[in-house]
Chain A
Amino acid sequence: DIQMTQSPSSVSASIGDRVTITCRASQGINNWLTWYQQKPGKAPKLLIYGASSLHSGVPSRFSGSGSGTDFTLTISSLQPEDFATYYCQQANSFPLTFGGGTKVEIK
């Protein structure tokens, strides 16, 4: 199985801050990396697929980069509605696997 490791596990940030979350795969997954946002009590929402493609309707302050084993999700200017937990998922091979999540909290 491909292990997905996210860091940090939590981050405290203020409105307007730039926030970066990292996801590392235990082996190369090309660009088959997906990012989701989840708010408490809600289902996850797709943000980015293919490592850097923005899903329809997702604000442009979200961006993704990386290839191979190392990937990054960046929120360029944190907004109040962005406080949530973020998960990465590899879609390169089965079993599909998720990272442990990164909680973005208010500073």
Chain B
Amino acid sequence: QITLKESGPTLVKPTQTLTLTCTFSGFSLSISGVTVGWIRQPPGQALEWLALIYWNDDKRYSPSLKSRLTITKDTSKNQVVLTMTNMDPVDTATYYCAHGNPAHFDYWGQGTLVTVSS
């Protein structure tokens, strides 16, 4: 049974760095073909893909956010971490992590709402 759960701050101030952790179970990110991605959704808006990390540590980023994003994995802890620098109120959204297969997402975390406000 694959499960994922996002954790991190619910409120960040403008210009701060956001760090989100995805803790998962039911699969290993050291197995060939496995990926974990991050997707966000501003309130009332559509989904937006942010980043993806492969089992072999290859990484892909949204070009529009690439300069602000870093995705890493800790295979021993079954965790994937996303950092986003220089947060702005437009980054207010629910952030999801998801198991990739490899580039569609078959299992999702519940999401975590991050509000950017001073």
Contact = CB atoms under 8 A, between A and B. Distances in A.
Interface of A: 1, 32, 34, 36, 42-46, 49, 55, 87, 89, 91, 94-101
Contact of B103 (A36, A43, A91): A91
Interface in B49-97: 49, 52, 60-64, 96
A74 B83 CA distance: 38
Given A46-B107, A95-B62, 17 more contacts: A32-B103, A32-B104, A34-B105, A36-B47, A44-B105, A44-B108, A46-B105, A49-B104, A55-B106, A89-B47, A89-B49, A91-B104, A96-B49, A96-B52, A96-B103, A98-B48, A99-B46
Nearest to B63: A95
16 contacts: A34-B105, A36-B105, A43-B109, A43-B110, A43-B111, A44-B108, A45-B108, A46-B107, A49-B106, A55-B106, A87-B46, A89-B49, A94-B52, A97-B49, A98-B48, A99-B46
A91 B107 CA distance: 15
Given A94-B60, A95-B62, A95-B63, A46 B49 contact: no
A99 B45 CA distance: 11
Nearest to B4: A43
A46 B104 CA distance: 8
A95 B64 CA distance: 9
Nearest to A50: B104
A43 B46 contact: no
A66 B9 CA distance: 41
Contacts of B103: 32, 91, 96
Contacts of B10: none
A45 to B, nearest CB: 7
B15 interface: no
A91 B109 CA distance: 19
A98 B47 contact: yes
B101 interface: yes
Contacts of A44: 47, 96, 105, 108
